[in-house]
Structure 1
Amino acid sequence: MAKMKDVRVSIILECTSCVRKNINKESSGISRYITEKNRYNTTSDLELQKFCRYCKKHTTHREIKK
């Protein structure tokens, strides 16, 4: 019998402003958070306001592919 896919999946959230800055080498790194989301209730990519330690402020973090 095949296993069911998990309803809750682990995702990685990445800072959107650090990605833009990292092209110019202004930032020393990229802020990333690991969290979970419900596969069925949240089908689109997740966006949350999280604190970025490199920008030193709250910025938008988007889901990236794992």
Structure 2
Amino acid sequence: MAKNKGSRITITLECQCKNDKITKRKNGIARYTTCKNKRNTPNRLELKKFCTYCNTHEIFKEIK
């Protein structure tokens, strides 16, 4: 029998920086993909990750 995938879903995290800082490397939007358990974390996820476009650690928020 095949197992049910369960409550884990794949989400996309997007940088919330404005990309208009003086020290930016290039234009664009930084995104990460990860998975979360939608039963344990029903709210949108926010993580502090490294933004390659700003060259700093920024807050990444879950997008649809």
State TM-score, norm by structure 2. Answer: 0.79
- Which residue does the alignment assign to 1:29? 28
Matches within 5 A, 1:1-66: 6-17=6-17, 20-21=18-19, 28-65=27-64
Determine the C-alpha separation between the residues in 1 that align with 2:6 and 2:30.
27
Corresponding letter in the other structure for 1:48: L
Determine the C-alpha separation between the residues in 1 that align with 2:51 and 2:19.
13
Q: Does the 8 A contact of 2:19 with 2:28 survive in 1? A: no
Richer in helix (by share)? 1
| Number of aligned positions between the proteins | 58
Give me the identity figure in percent: 47
Determine the C-alpha separation between the residues in 2 that align with 1:34 and 1:47.
12
Corresponding letter in the other structure for 2:36: K
Which ranges of structure 1 fall in alignment gaps of 5 or more residues? none
Q: Deviation of residue 5 (structure 1)?
A: 6.3
